Structure 1
Amino acid sequence: MAISGRHYWNRLRPLLLAAVAVTLSAVPSHAQDDDFFGSIAALFNPNPTSRQTPVIDATPYTLNIEVQGGDSSLKNAVTQASNLESLKDRPPSGAAGLVRRALSDFERITAALYGEGRYGATIHITVAGIAPNAPNIFDVVERARKAGPVPVQVVVDPGPPFVFGDIRILDAATRRPLAEGPSLRALGLEPGESARADRVVRAEAVVVDFWRERGHPFARLTGKDVVADHATHRLNVTLLVETGPVATFGTFTVSGADFLPPNFIEERVEIPPGTPYSPDRLTRLRKRLLTIQAIASVRIREGERLDAQGRLPIYIEVRPRDPRYVGFSAKYSSTDGSSINGFWGHRNLFGGGETLRLDASVSWFGGVPEAVPNADPFGYKLAASFVKPGIWTPQDDLILNAAILREVTNAYVREGVVALLAVRHRFDDQLSMQVGVDFEDGQVEDTTGIYNALVTGIPVDLFYDTTDNALDPSRGIRLNATVEPFAYLGDSGAGPVMLKAALSAYHAFDDDRRIIIAGRVAAGSLVGVGDLYDVPPQRRFYVGGGGSVRGYDYQSASPRNAFGQIVGGLSFFEASAELRVRITDTIGIVPFFDMGSAFATEYPDFSGLKYSAGIGLRYYTPIGPLRVDFAVPLNPGPDDGSFGVYVSLGQAF
């Protein structure tokens, strides 16, 4: 079979072939020749060869694939598309099975060539020396197999590379250019660029999304003309678009929410009828509803037609999650110590979306605390967290946290109780603020002795988040800022104010988010404090360890007293940068650089900054990446270690 001369395709063929190639490449090839469920079972058999059902009338063959010209990417594309190649260790059944396999390679290799921008290719496949569609092919194969494996040859002349030529986006009704639309650059169809078939497929979605985002819910592509001009080696593309009417949102109808109070979902829609239609509003609504822990899934369907007022009805279908859950987590760090935590929770405690979580954890410091050398290295924490949504308005949540704990660090050991009562108000899907009352009482031991440390304050927290994923963001920014005036802060009494903020930013360099650069900057200060030692040690600032400057021991990049013991600071500064690179769909590497320090002064003076660098391994799971980081200090002091290892779920920031 050959592809040559000036050839015009019908409107769908090149794109369908590309879609077939993508689909087939994602499916194990042997599923086409054998039982599918048997193929799945093969994943769990350590010796699949011994378990395979023998093929009846097996027809072994030898294969030679020759790609004339082209780079390694083109050759790999042809080889990976070939059924003959991927299944060569699985002989087909009889002459008919081998012929079917050879014939399927024409379409598969053609699709792969279209995907590489090659539309003038010639493909020659021979089985036992003749074409697989020859009238006497079965007799020839039967004779050849008696002498041994049947010789099969694939010769591909990919032809010249094609580039995009004339690109037109037309109104489907008038066949005239639309007054507005996405740029050719946004479509990926710029004239002179490689005419890969997948770019045309992607452009279709971009065109439809462009009009939907401008209030046309029924925008669609009604047709396309894709013409390869072999004289000029250009691919000319015409897309026919039906924009449909401009619409506004109509009524929202909710189903499946019987496990929540009446109108609970409706009150949180926040899109009044008459609001201009926007698919982004629906995406954000779905994301917001999924933050309600009692909800397992949210499906949003758009109506098939507008109502009498020109509004689009929307249907929301929700399903409940199991209300109760249990689990455990663990963390290991060679510098911060290790911990294991067990928890129980309820996602709909009183039937109004209330959540309760109880945690019990034990920890091991992993060394001898510098400030309290004789201290027991084991710690514990018994904690409860309760959230009541919609206490005043649907945007206001009541938060109550309380814990009994024993914490062991290099700078101090404390035992006591902590509690927080707060109200969180959500302004929109990205911005929220929380105001609360902070209380802490207990016993603290540090280099100066043992004493009670009462703390009461009014923390005000601001949260701004435009990222796309909580555990593995690839774009956007994340800002957390806190201002907490204290009514009582140990020997400092009333008046001190704690200021703290952290800003993270993320940028993906490609659509598949395989290369991401991430950065973080954080700083804080205790203002209005007479002396460092007037501040309870647990409320001072510390830097060093897995959550700040990796490679240094926990809290070690902090001020020390005359005896070299860590005492903490009144301010701090931290900065980190990471390059997150996915090697495969599940494995990634992350080179990183950290810097930072705590300071004895009220504001950072940037003296004695610590620096570190390292490499991380990521294993990507459905719930988030598993992180393993190895870091070394770049300017260690005499009390610093030589490296740090950190294991946890989620990115470092």
Structure 2
Amino acid sequence: MAGGRQKGYLWLALVLCGVLSLLALSGPASAQLLGGNNDDASQDGTQGGLFGPLVNLFSPKPMNAAPPAPDATPYTVTFDVKGSDSALADRVKAASNLERLSDRPPSGAAGLVRRALADRRDINAALYSAGYYGGIIRIRLAGSPPDAPDIFERVEAARARGPVPVQVDVQAGDQFHFGRVNLVDARTRRPLTDAPSLAQLRLIPGEPALATSIVRAEGIIVDHWRAAAHPFARIVDKEVVADHVKKTVDVTFLVSPGPVATFGRFTVTGADFLTPGFIEERIDIAPGTPYSPQTLDRLRRRLLEYEAIASVRIREADRLDSDGSLPITIEVSPRKPRYVGFSATYSSTDGSALNAYWGHRNLFGGGETLRLDAQASWFGEKSEAVPSADPFGYKFAATFVKPGIYTARNDLVAEAAILREVTNAYVREAATLLVGVRHRFSDDLKLQVSLDLEQSQVEDSTDTRDYGIIGVPFELTYDNTDSRLDPSRGWRVSATVEPFAYLGDAGAGPTLFNGSVSTYHAFDENKRFILAGRLAAGSIIGAGLYDVPPQRRFYVGGGGSLRGYDYQSASPRNEDGIIIGGRSFFEASLEARVRVTDTIGIVPFVDMGSAFASEWPDFDGMKYSAGVGLRYYTSIGPLRVDLAFPLNPGPDDGDFGVYVSLGQAF
């Protein structure tokens, strides 16, 4: 095991060095390969784009370093914030350009004066945002206020003696709290019925009167009435009155809900790259349906699922038709039809893989997609079942999707592959074909019924056998999460039932059941702390263990199931200790996804799971692991590095596992 781990680390080092070297290239070939262009390199030699921050770690120049200003005026700034806690002092400093840009001196005395005058406004806004409406701000440049008649002469004189001293004194005063909060009709000034509650607005009398809460409440009010079929709802004005005696803030929102509306005619523009009527057929909003921004958002997200479409803009008319309906215009734009790319994955327990692909997003003009993949993999160690097997594998695959074969809700899905797969339990060479129809019941719920064909030769610890397998999988999926690669809310549920017409020499009868459920919950508005959980289980009934082909059995262990353990290692073994797989399995994972900065996050996690020889999980011999992950968040998803340790390892288990890939673990 130790020798295999050392080879794994060497492989990881070679991959990372190769990627960083490729990213550092500036020629057209490297730019096209990475999906960017040479404009990503800034004039100071730093790299932009997806991996720019990573490359710049090795650059001698700071990222986006600006040249010094002409006639620079150095200065030193000190703060004295009274009548508040350290958190407010930090907020004041964060709002100050004098503090934030102190290492970039402004141009001349005028530049320093402008910076100081702007700080009055910005620091005052910071005080308001924290509920301090009686603050006093005094800024001195070389001992004088920035609006003094002779301020330029004083700054120049001070500069001749060294950095200009700047003093910022802030007396925050008392924190104000909300008093009366009213929502009234802008025309009649009468209280509005069916208005959102103060709890929904987060404007509770007696709570700190944060200015940010008032601004946020405006959006909540407008969204409330728009969701109630009032497309032209708006805040006409607001009256914010601070009582400096009572230390309270009274807020009155003057709201114009506007008329109730229904959906009217839909007009599509920019869709000439698709077959006529493609977009119109997918607008399943009947005329007369009550207006709803959520309905429009679901339509927009559904259209964006088609790879041929780059953007969808929905424009609402500025007035209703005579029948009270609202005309809608949908503007779409195409993506580039062809694309190429590559990807790589690394695991010290699962092996590694490199994949190159080519694709077409609109093959015949009807949104058809075709993708060709060529993958080379390396298992990393000798297979336990077939020690003499070459550790290298391959897979050549073609995937085709044809939208709307019967109706707009039905898609044809086909995937063909030729592959060689090396694992600890078996070595397989196979040709596979999956052809099915996917039906969309709703934006979240889909059902796919397929024909699953496989012709393969599989070698394990006992012998080499040929298998012809015919299955009919039924796969039901539900997904209402807000992101594919980095969800922060919602549920993902999948369930598969696949009866086999033929299964090796066992004849007809065995059926596979497989299901998983994941859920995600963000505890804050900025989605900096997310709790994610996953459960998965499966069973094969109607056949003995050795009647099930090795590649169709269940295995647990590795980056896709139980991190920290070797690939497939948490699975049943024969009397010689060789992995043979099971007829059932159970897995569970829990992650706390914490963003430390906008681009860096840490993820402590725990996993558990095992495969079982019995038809149903008996939870005997469950394995557990724990670890921590590092996330680098990019525009297309998080780059994941996980380090996991087994908690109850057996004599054949390793000490830890390392996993590198794009996207969250689940």
TM-score, structure 1 length as denominator? 0.92
Equivalent in 147, 151, 169 of residue 161 of structure 2: 147
Pick closer, same or farther for the CA change 1:52–1:613 going to 2, 3 Å. Answer: closer
Equivalent in 551, 570, 574 of residue 564 of structure 2: 551
Equivalent in 603, 609, 614 of residue 627 of structure 2: 614
Give the CA deviation at 1:142: 3.5
- Contact kept, 8 Å, 2:83 with 2:174, in 1: the verdict is no
Give the CA deviation at 1:98: 2.5
Pick closer, same or farther for the CA change 1:192–1:457 going to 2, 3 Å. Answer: same
Aligned equivalents of 1:322, 1:334: Cα separation in 2? 37
1:640 partnered with 2:653: yes
SS of structure 2 residue aligned to 1:130:
coil
User: What is the match of residue 492 of structure 1?
Assistant: 506
The one-letter code sitting in structure 2 at the alignment partner of 1:646 is Y
SS of structure 2 residue aligned to 1:568:
coil
- Contact kept, 8 Å, 2:73 with 2:112, in 1: the verdict is yes
After superposition, give the CA deviation of every residue in 1:599-646 in whole Å (9 maximum; x if it has no partner). 000001111100000000111111111111000000011111110111
Aligned equivalents of 2:643, 2:239: Cα separation in 1? 54
The one-letter code sitting in structure 2 at the alignment partner of 1:205 is G
Give the CA deviation at 1:41: 4.8
User: What is the match of residue 98 of structure 2?
Assistant: 84
User: What is the match of residue 475 of structure 2?
Assistant: 461
User: What is the match of residue 533 of structure 1?
Assistant: 546
Pick closer, same or farther for the CA change 1:103–1:232 going to 2, 3 Å. Answer: same
Aligned equivalents of 2:402, 2:74: Cα separation in 1? 68
- Contact kept, 8 Å, 2:409 with 2:441, in 1: the verdict is yes
User: What is the match of residue 375 of structure 1?
Assistant: 389
- Contact kept, 8 Å, 2:42 with 2:64, in 1: the verdict is no
Within 5 Å, give how 1:205-284 maps onto structure 2: 205-284=219-298
After superposition, give the CA deviation of every residue in 1:72-95 in whole Å (9 maximum; x if it has no partner). 211111112222222333333333
SS of structure 1 residue aligned to 2:278:
coil
User: What is the match of residue 601 of structure 2?
Assistant: 588
Give the CA deviation at 1:51: 8.3
Give the CA deviation at 1:399: 1.0
Aligned equivalents of 2:318, 2:392: Cα separation in 1? 62
User: What is the match of residue 200 of structure 2?
Assistant: 186
Pick closer, same or farther for the CA change 1:142–1:644 going to 2, 3 Å. Answer: closer
The one-letter code sitting in structure 2 at the alignment partner of 1:623 is I
1:408 partnered with 2:422: yes
Aligned equivalents of 2:177, 2:164: Cα separation in 1? 39
Within 5 Å, give how 1:445-484 maps onto structure 2: 445-484=459-498
After superposition, give the CA deviation of every residue in 1:492-549 in whole Å (9 maximum; x if it has no partner). 21011111100001111011111000000000000111x2101100000111110111
After superposition, give the CA deviation of every residue in 1:271-319 in whole Å (9 maximum; x if it has no partner). 0111111100110100000111111111111111111111001000111
User: What is the match of residue 28 of structure 2?
Assistant: none
Give the CA deviation at 1:43: 8.0
The one-letter code sitting in structure 1 at the alignment partner of 2:445 is L
Equivalent in 607, 617, 630 of residue 604 of structure 1: 617
Pick closer, same or farther for the CA change 1:144–1:342 going to 2, 3 Å. Answer: closer
- Contact kept, 8 Å, 2:44 with 2:64, in 1: the verdict is no
The one-letter code sitting in structure 1 at the alignment partner of 2:276 is P
User: What is the match of residue 146 of structure 2?
Assistant: 132
Equivalent in 568, 572, 585 of residue 585 of structure 2: 572
User: What is the match of residue 32 of structure 1?
Assistant: none
Aligned equivalents of 1:56, 1:514: Cα separation in 2? 40
Aligned equivalents of 2:277, 2:607: Cα separation in 1? 48
SS of structure 2 residue aligned to 1:493:
coil
The one-letter code sitting in structure 1 at the alignment partner of 2:642 is D
User: What is the match of residue 29 of structure 1?
Assistant: none
SS of structure 2 residue aligned to 1:520:
strand
Aligned equivalents of 2:94, 2:200: Cα separation in 1? 29
Give the CA deviation at 1:125: 1.4
SS of structure 1 residue aligned to 2:421:
strand
Give the paired residue count. Answer: 615
User: What is the match of residue 573 of structure 2?
Assistant: 560
After superposition, give the CA deviation of every residue in 1:11-55 in whole Å (9 maximum; x if it has no partner). xxxxxxxxxxxxxxxxxxxxxxxxxx9x97568394579986554
User: What is the match of residue 542 of structure 1?
Assistant: 555
After superposition, give the CA deviation of every residue in 1:457-482 in whole Å (9 maximum; x if it has no partner). 11000011110101111000001100
Aligned equivalents of 2:69, 2:460: Cα separation in 1? 75
Pick closer, same or farther for the CA change 1:568–1:57 going to 2, 3 Å. Answer: closer
Pick closer, same or farther for the CA change 1:188–1:43 going to 2, 3 Å. Answer: farther
- Contact kept, 8 Å, 2:68 with 2:104, in 1: the verdict is no
Pick closer, same or farther for the CA change 1:302–1:486 going to 2, 3 Å. Answer: same
User: What is the match of residue 629 of structure 1?
Assistant: 642
100-109 vs 398-407, which moves further: 100-109
Pick closer, same or farther for the CA change 1:183–1:332 going to 2, 3 Å. Answer: same
Aligned equivalents of 1:511, 1:566: Cα separation in 2? 46
User: What is the match of residue 665 of structure 2?
Assistant: 652
SS of structure 1 residue aligned to 2:661:
strand
SS of structure 2 residue aligned to 1:135:
coil
User: What is the match of residue 15 of structure 2?
Assistant: none
Pick closer, same or farther for the CA change 1:578–1:48 going to 2, 3 Å. Answer: closer
SS of structure 1 residue aligned to 2:206:
coil
Give the CA deviation at 1:128: 2.1
Within 5 Å, give how 1:97-112 maps onto structure 2: 97-112=111-126
Within 5 Å, give how 1:229-378 maps onto structure 2: 229-378=243-392
1:504 partnered with 2:518: yes
Aligned equivalents of 2:660, 2:104: Cα separation in 1? 42
SS of structure 2 residue aligned to 1:454:
strand
Pick closer, same or farther for the CA change 1:286–1:460 going to 2, 3 Å. Answer: same
Aligned equivalents of 2:563, 2:74: Cα separation in 1? 57
User: What is the match of residue 31 of structure 2?
Assistant: none
Give the CA deviation at 1:176: 1.4
Aligned equivalents of 2:588, 2:230: Cα separation in 1? 44
The one-letter code sitting in structure 2 at the alignment partner of 1:251 is R
User: What is the match of residue 33 of structure 1?
Assistant: none
After superposition, give the CA deviation of every residue in 1:237-256 in whole Å (9 maximum; x if it has no partner). 11111101111100110011
SS of structure 1 residue aligned to 2:607:
strand
Aligned equivalents of 2:60, 2:545: Cα separation in 1? 63
SS of structure 2 residue aligned to 1:185:
helix
SS of structure 2 residue aligned to 1:280:
helix
Aligned equivalents of 1:50, 1:313: Cα separation in 2? 46
- Contact kept, 8 Å, 2:573 with 2:581, in 1: the verdict is yes
User: What is the match of residue 159 of structure 1?
Assistant: 173
The one-letter code sitting in structure 1 at the alignment partner of 2:539 is S
TM-score, structure 2 length as denominator? 0.90
Equivalent in 393, 404, 421 of residue 407 of structure 2: 393
Provide the aligned C-alpha RMSD in A: 1.8
After superposition, give the CA deviation of every residue in 1:308-353 in whole Å (9 maximum; x if it has no partner). 1110010001111111111111110111100011111111111111
The one-letter code sitting in structure 1 at the alignment partner of 2:268 is V
Equivalent in 419, 423, 445 of residue 433 of structure 2: 419
- Contact kept, 8 Å, 2:404 with 2:411, in 1: the verdict is yes
Pick closer, same or farther for the CA change 1:576–1:48 going to 2, 3 Å. Answer: closer
- Percent identity over the alignment is 66
After superposition, give the CA deviation of every residue in 1:212-256 in whole Å (9 maximum; x if it has no partner). 011111111100011111111112111111101111100110011
Unaligned segments of structure 2, at least 5 residues: 1-38, 47-58
Pick closer, same or farther for the CA change 1:51–1:396 going to 2, 3 Å. Answer: closer
